């Protein structure tokens, strides 16, 4: 998935620590070979479907499988898994919970892709090609023959987000117990998070709202739709029926505003880690209250896809960094939510051995044990301009300390 992350920029005079973490974009597109020319078409729609089939086999089958069952060649290496279209279950819809998506919904997904997954956008195709693909992928599921999608839910009267609406949203978040899955602070670490599975019985990660990454798009409207319609095939419920008709709109808009306010780096902010100067002694433990004097900065991580063994599906997709200094030393606090068990590190003292961690090994062909570890890289000198040493241990002329 192509996505722009704010890059670290250098600024002078301020004590500044640039942490070069791997910000590679993992965009994996597997193509299968295009099939030979089609047989004699009998009608216009038949011709369109034949054309669409070619496009599908070329652009989609590598992940979604020739039969649309989600078992393409690349599927083994991907998490989340490519969708199996045969069940007719789609997450990104404007239609009520349980309904099929409209053609426009599917067109939207093909045009936008799904952030936070390997599903790319296909905006380089013409609108006609994408529309033909929509018709073709509907042939994989009988559901489209027997059922019509219900009408799209209206998305109207969006109010501006204010501190007041955000506070209303926070209360609803609490009352609706979103935190059971998404965590009290929306970090994707609620008590149920590690127990959830999708309709294909594959463990599913709940969204961490601090990242600002949303499969169905990041606007208030997109979120409003996700709450209203739920995400079919996943434990993410619809909250449409929870509210009375009079209060529904206002409440759901407030919820959107609150969820968006949890994003760690708000649009326009950079991910430069600034070390505030403090007169107190530097904190020595992660839970020292002195850390509250440091501004948290979120840095997104993606898998190492350059050298073998490639890691397409990192368990930890971001870290939060805080830094403080006292003119002599710098203290760093790096925190992350880790849904995977450290199978080599031996665990912490007092661990009983039973674990609620998600174990994805059985679902991933290449996954093996990997111990938890963290390395921070500092440039040895402040370079001119925005040029940083290469993130893999620097480069000639720009040495680093790791
Ligand atoms: C590199 C792999 C890859 C390719 C190529 C790919 N997809 Fe996907 N696609 C995915 C993954 C992974 C998901 C599931 C993402 C998730 O559920 O988080 C997905 C999901 C979808 C969905 C489900 C949307 C929903 O609302 O649930 C549709 C529709 C879709 N893809 C269509 C296509 C079409 C059409 C093509 C070809 C033009 C295509 N995909 C090519 C990986 C791929
Ligand atoms: C039973 C667990 C559960 C509860 C309760 C729950 N969610 Fe979710 N939610 C999920 C899961 C799982 C996903 C991820 C689905 C996926 O990635 O396919 C998700 C995804 C989301 C997304 C991401 C949409 C996108 O486009 O990526 C938002 C926003 C969201 N939930 C908001 C909420 C809010 C707000 C509440 C409470 C009103 C809530 N959820 C309650 C499980 C839950």
**pLDDT-derived band at 184, boundaries 50, 70, 90:** very high
Separation CA 269–CA 291 (nearest Å): 20
How many angstroms separate the CA atoms of 286 and 332, rounded? 9
Tokens of 228: 């209203």
Q: Is the CB of 254 under 6 A from ligand 2?
A: no
pLDDT of residue 24: 29
Phi, psi of 335, deg, nearest 5: -125, 145
- Residue 47's pLDDT band, with cuts at 50, 70 and 90, is confident
| Ligand 1 center to 85 CA (angstroms) | 9
pLDDT of the residue at 278:
94
pLDDT of residue 389: 83
CA distance 204 to 217: 19
Distances from the Cα of 41 to the Cα of 67, 122, 344, angstroms: 21, 26, 58
Ligand 2 atom closest to 178 (CA): 37
Confidence of residue 381 (pLDDT cuts 50, 70, 90): confident
Beta-carbon count within 10 A of 184 CB: 13
Say yes or no: CB of residue 213 within 6 Å of ligand 1.
Answer: no
Of all atoms in ligand 1, which is nearest to the CA of residue 27? 1
For residues 159 and 221, the answer to whether their CB atoms sit within 8 Å is no
In CATH, the number for domain 44-146 is 1.10.760.10
> Is residue 180 lining ligand 2, measured as CB closer than 6 Å?
yes
Ligand nearest to the CA of 183: 2
pLDDT band with cut points at 50, 70 and 90 for residue 318: confident
| Cβ–ligand 2 contact at 275 (below 6 Å) | no
Each residue's pLDDT tens digit, 103-155? 999 999 999 999 888 899 999 999 999 999 999 999 999 999 999 999 999 99
Q: How confident is the model at residue 23 (pLDDT cuts 50, 70, 90)?
A: very low
Please give the CATH superfamily to which domain 163-261 belongs: Cytochrome c-like domain (1.10.760.10)
Residue 329: pLDDT band (50, 70, 90) is: very high
For residue 276, the cross-strand partners are 324
Q: Does the pLDDT at position 14 exceed 60?
A: no
Closest CA to 271 of 314, 320, 315: 320
| Chain mean position to CA 365 | 21
In the chain, CATH 1.10.760.10 sits at 44-146, 163-261
Closest Cα to atom 7 of ligand 2: 236
236 lines ligand 1 (CB under 6 A): no
90 pocket-lining for ligand 2 (C-beta < 6 Å) = no
Residue 40 has pLDDT above 50, yes or no: no
The pLDDT of residue 367 is above 50: no
Atom of ligand 2 nearest to the CA of 239: 38
pLDDT for residue 269: 67
pLDDT value of residue 308: 63
Which ligand has its closest atom nearest to the C-alpha of 137?
1
- Which helix (H) or strand (E) element contains residue 258? helix 245-261
DSSP E strand stretches across 20-153? none
Higher-pLDDT residue of 299 and 62 is 62
* 1 CA distance to ligand 2 middle (Å): 20
Q: What is the pLDDT of residue 344?
A: 46
Query: Given ligand 1 and candidates 89, 98, 119, 317, which is best to mutate, with the most ligand atoms within 8 Å of its CB?
Result: 119
Cβ–ligand 2 contact at 251 (below 6 Å): no
The percentage of residues in the chain with a pLDDT greater than 90, rounded to a whole number, is: 50
- Mean pLDDT score across all residues of the chain: 80
Lowest mean pLDDT among 107-111, 159-163, 226-230, 375-379: 375-379
Ligand 2 atom closest to 180 (CA): 5
Task: State the ligand closest to the CA atom of 237.
Answer: 2
Please tell me if the CB atom of residue 91 comes closer than 6 angstroms to any atom of ligand 2.
yes
- Kindly give the distance from the C-alpha atom of residue 208 to the centroid of ligand 2, in angstroms, as a whole number: 9
| Per-residue pLDDT reduced to its tens digit, 192-217 | 988 899 999 988 989 989 888 899 99
C-alpha R_g of the chain: 23
Structure tokens at 97: 């919970």
């Amino acid at each position: 998935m192509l996505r722009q992350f704010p890059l670290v920029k250098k600024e002078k005079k301020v004590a500044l620590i640039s942490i070069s973490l791997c910000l590679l974009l993992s965009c994996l597109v597997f193509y299968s070979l295009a099939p030979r020319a089609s047989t004699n078409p009998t009608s216009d729609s038949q011709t369109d479907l034949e054309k669409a089939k070619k496009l599908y086999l070329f652009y989609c089958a590598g992940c979604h499988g020739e039969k649309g069952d989600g078992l393409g060649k690349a599927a083994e290496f991907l998490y989340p898994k490519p969708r199996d279209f045969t069940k007719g279950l789609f997450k990104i819809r404007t239609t009520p919970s349980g309904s099929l998506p409209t053609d426009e919904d599917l067109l939207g997904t093909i045009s936008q892709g799904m952030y936070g997954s390997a599903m790319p956008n296909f905006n380089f195709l013409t609108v006609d090609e994408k529309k033909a693909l929509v018709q073709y992928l509907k042939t994989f599921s009988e559901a489209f023959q027997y059922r019509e999608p219900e009408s799209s839910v209206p998305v109207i009267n969006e109010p501006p987000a204010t501190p007041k609406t955000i506070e209303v949203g926070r209360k609803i978040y609490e009352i609706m117990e979103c935190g059971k899955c998404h965590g009290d602070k929306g970090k994707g670490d609620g008590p149920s998070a590690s127990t959830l599975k999708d309709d294909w019985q594959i463990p599913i990660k709940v969204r961490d709202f601090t990242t600002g990454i949303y499969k169905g798009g990041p606007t208030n409207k997109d979120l409003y739709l996700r709450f209203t319609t739920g995400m079919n095939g996943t434990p993410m419920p619809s909250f449409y029926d929870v509210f009375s008709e009079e209060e529904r709109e206002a409440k759901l808009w407030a919820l959107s505003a609150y969820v968006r306010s949890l994003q760690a780096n708000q649009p326009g902010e950079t991910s430069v880690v600034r070390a505030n100067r403090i007169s107190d002694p530097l904190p020595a433990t992660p839970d020292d209250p002195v850390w509250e004097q440091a501004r948290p900065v979120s840095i997104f991580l993606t898998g190492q896809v350059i050298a073998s063994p490639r890691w397409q599906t990192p368990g930890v997709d971001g870290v939060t960094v805080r830094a403080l200094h006292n003119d002599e030393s710098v203290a760093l606090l790096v925190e992350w939510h880790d849904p995977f068990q450290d199978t080599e590190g031996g665990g912490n003292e007092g661990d009983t051995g039973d674990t609620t961690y998600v174990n994805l090994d059985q679902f991933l062909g290449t996954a093996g044990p990997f111990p938890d570890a963290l390395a921070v890289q500092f440039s040895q000198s402040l370079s001119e301009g925005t040029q940083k040493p290469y993130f893999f241990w620097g480069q000639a002329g720009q040495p680093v300390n790791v």
